[in-house]
A and B are shown apart, each in its own frame.
Chain A
Amino acid sequence: MIYFDHNATTSIHPEVLDTMMPFLAAQQGNPSSNHSFGRNVQTAIEEAREKVANSVNAHPSQVIFTSSGTESNNTIIHGISRSYPESHFGFSSIEHPCVSEPIKSIESRGFKNTQIPVDINGLLNISALSNEEQKNITFLSIMIANNETGVIQDMPTIIKWAKSHNIQIHTDAVQAIGKINVDFEALGVDAMTISSHKIYGPQGAAALILNKKIDLYPHLMGGGQEKGLRSGTENIAAIVGFGKACERVQKNIVIINNEVKQGRLFLEKALKDLGAVIFADQTERLGNTTFFAFNNIDGSTLLTALDRKGFAIASGSACSSNSSDASHVLLAMGIDRELAQGALRVSLGVETKKNDIKSFIETLKIEVNRLKQLTAMAA
């Protein structure tokens, strides 16, 4: 089986595994305990915090560990709604549901929000908002790179606009970290979400990077861990693994933007030759991601056929793969619903080999031609 679904979750790098193992198996304390068992794991957590901070040029004191990207995004949005009760939330129409859903969930408590549209290239179109709408927004959450299309937003321009309107800015960098350079300080955002299991670390650990000028109300309450901002016994093994994975971020960026990107371009050329539409083709995208569809081929049939031949790819994001609905990202870009329904995503990883892509293309050619013939016969 060849795995081409790295935007859903990555494998764990062997070095990361080695670092985690002692914390999974051996005697380990509760980091809040005052004896040597507790202190040893506390030290391990602080070392991981430093590595996480270094990977995105933040200060270790700005790192709050959580259990997932979803939790980080919920923590910032719910927290802001409690500490800044006058907030008006802005977000794009292509955000991950773990940003848009918490924002919608607090509508019942009276919080207003504004959805910012994207253009056909998947890029934010702020000028589509009226002056009044632009003035209303007090908090903005925008993802750096989209999980489905891989489109990279023009963050400097967006942030400049937000700052000129005194807007607090959060960015979901879950898909960006490890694929492009992410610099918390240089970006100048107030909060940022990153996650371990998209960068060859384990599932179960993520972080919210928080500028201290934001007064954040906690979402999970209790024992007061993470300076009171996220209670709950720390998931030590996963946090240690996350730290180690963060050490590899710069190396991964180089691989993704060279070998992997070459492979993607090679694949996209083959796709186009077969008649596929590549979404946001002309936009700057992550080196590993291609999102495509064929006009006259059913996407789920092709997906199943490829799976049978040993290729694991996705039909949009994992989180919504339960629903047969068309991708909300493509619909927001103005893509025709019928085409969007058949969209398939290939997301390559640092361990992807040139031969994997070659054999994928060969299989794809056979399957696409077979399905085209079937469609033609039916017509």
Chain B
Amino acid sequence: MINETQVMPIYMDYSATTPVDPRVAEKMIPFITESYGNPASRSHPYGWTAEKAVENARNEVAKLVNADPREIIWTSGATESNNLAIKGASNFYSSKGKHIISVATEHKAVIDAVREMERLGYETTFLQPEPDGLIDIKKFKNAIRPDTVLASVMMVNNEIGVIQDIDALGKACRAEKIIFHVDAAQATGKVEIDLEKLPVDLMSFSAHKTYGPKGVGALYVRRKPRIRIEAQMHGGGHERGMRSGTLATHQIVGMGEAFRIAREEMETENAHIKKLQLRLLSGLTEIEETYVNGDIEKRVPHNLNISFNYVEGESLIMAIKGIAVSSGSACTSASLEPSYVLRALGRSDELAHSSIRFSIGRFTKESDIDYAIELLKEKIGRLRELSPLWEMFQDGVDLEKVEWAEH
């Protein structure tokens, strides 16, 4: 029997947000207790100390992705970075054209920013990914028009964890002189990012998906060749005029430390997480009628998204309270609609509805994985016992051919 008496469930929702690494918290605390200056204050040491800390952190963020610190602009998070990149670049380069390419499986922050440009008179193409979640580079190239100004593609998908071929997509953009934006919120610390080699112009980062604090992110803005953006937050002229607003020093310090740890520990950590992923995968696929969503190879080790046929997603989530997982991304989990990402892969509503995203990370233990497997096996077994559809399937009825009576 599974022990379900624990106070808090086991956390398997690292793609929604990661816990803050204790080392990160430790670094942050002095900046809220003692060195609380405004980094824009140039007339006293309180300001200088804060400014120095901000610049050290900028260095760490740049190092993780092999960029120049001067290419890193602080923001309040990946949502702001995505808004700034998409609105800022397409506005600045509007004389080149008013067509934007993105993908149907992007995060809402990208989709909604692109939709906003649509309302401001731009035309947009949202590519449908292949059933494995990846973009066909040929289809991407075909979508490019002479008036295409910007393309935005995420590096790692938040729901299914697949990794896009950013290098190939970027090269296609370079060839046509299109600004290429990449949302890398789910990628840092999970896949190697080398912006010296990658043909990417703008890249969004988040701290709280990489064991840093919430409320801080960054946007990479390439200097060579120089990319320009129109500011979306106007005011005191912070961040070289690209993003005004007082910087939250302790949060920036936290992001810097989180990215430093990611750089140093990524390799060993990912090997460990990969083992856990495989353990989870082999355990869960022992259950009949399970379907992994998204390519299994080109995928980060932190993510496993599985549809369990013949169980209803909401009842499944309710039944597995011992683990904290999500059915779709956190941002849209308030709605009961099936995930738009899974639907874009061509999954049926039923399979999309019965999907669970397991996202694991730095603090996940092997025993957590084993607990999750046991829990899923037990609960799915019980739910299916109650399911007439499951009974029909067991009896060999082809459900596709059943004609349901109207009520």
**A contact residues vs B (CB 8 Å cutoff):** 1, 3, 5, 8-12, 17, 20, 24-30, 32-38, 66-71, 73-74, 78, 96-98, 101-102, 104-105, 197, 202-205, 219-225, 231-238, 303, 307, 311-315, 317-322
Contact = CB atoms under 8 A, between A and B. Distances in A.
Given A29-B16, A37-B9, A220-B80, 12 more contacts: A9-B36, A25-B22, A28-B214, A33-B13, A33-B16, A36-B324, A37-B324, A71-B245, A74-B233, A205-B215, A223-B331, A312-B45
B40 A221 contact: no
Of B19, B28, B45, B214, which is in contact with the most chain A CB atoms at under 10 Å from its CB? B214
Contacts of B250: 202-204
29 contacts: A5-B37, A5-B47, A36-B321, A37-B324, A68-B76, A68-B248, A69-B245, A70-B236, A70-B246, A74-B244, A97-B235, A98-B233, A98-B234, A202-B248, A203-B38, A204-B216, A204-B250, A222-B110, A223-B79, A223-B329, A223-B331, A224-B331, A224-B332, A231-B331, A232-B79, A233-B208, A312-B43, A312-B45, A319-B238
Majority DSSP secondary structure for residues of B touching A:
loop
A26 B325 CA distance: 18
Nearest to A205: B215
B20 A33 contact: no
A35 B324 contact: yes
Interface string B324-368: 111101111110000000000000000000000000000000000
A80 to B, nearest CB: 14
B294 interface: no
A70 B36 contact: no
B108 interface: yes
A12 B44 contact: no
Given A223-B331, A233-B17, A3 B46 contact: yes
Contacts of A36: 8-9, 321, 324
Nearest to B28: A24
Contacts, number: 278
A22 to B, nearest CB: 11
B247 interface: yes
A221 B330 contact: no
Contacts of B25: 24-25
B104 interface: no
Contacts of B36: 9-12
A34 B317 contact: yes
Nearest to A225: B331
B228 interface: no
Contacts of A38: 13, 16, 324, 330
Contacts of B232: 74, 78, 219
B268 interface: no
B331 to A, nearest CB: 3
Of B25, B41, B216, B317, which is in contact with the most chain A CB atoms at under 10 Å from its CB? B41
Nearest to B244: A70
Given A28-B17, A70-B233, A312-B46, A202 B32 contact: yes
A203 B248 contact: yes
B221 to A, nearest CB: 18
Interface string B263-302: 0000000000000000000000000000000000000000
The 7 A-B residue pairs whose C-beta atoms are closest, nearest first, are: A235-B215, A319-B236, A222-B109, A223-B331, A98-B235, A204-B248, A312-B44
Given A12-B33, A70-B246, A313 B43 contact: yes
Given A97-B234, A223-B79, A313-B44, A29 B113 contact: no
A101 B236 CA distance: 8
Contacts of A68: 76, 245-246, 248
Contact of B8 (A37, A105, A231, A313): A37
Contacts of A1: 44-46
B375 to A, nearest CB: 14
A222 B42 contact: no
B40 A318 contact: yes
B20 to A, nearest CB: 6
Contacts of B214: 28, 233-237
Contact of A29 (B13, B32, B43): B13
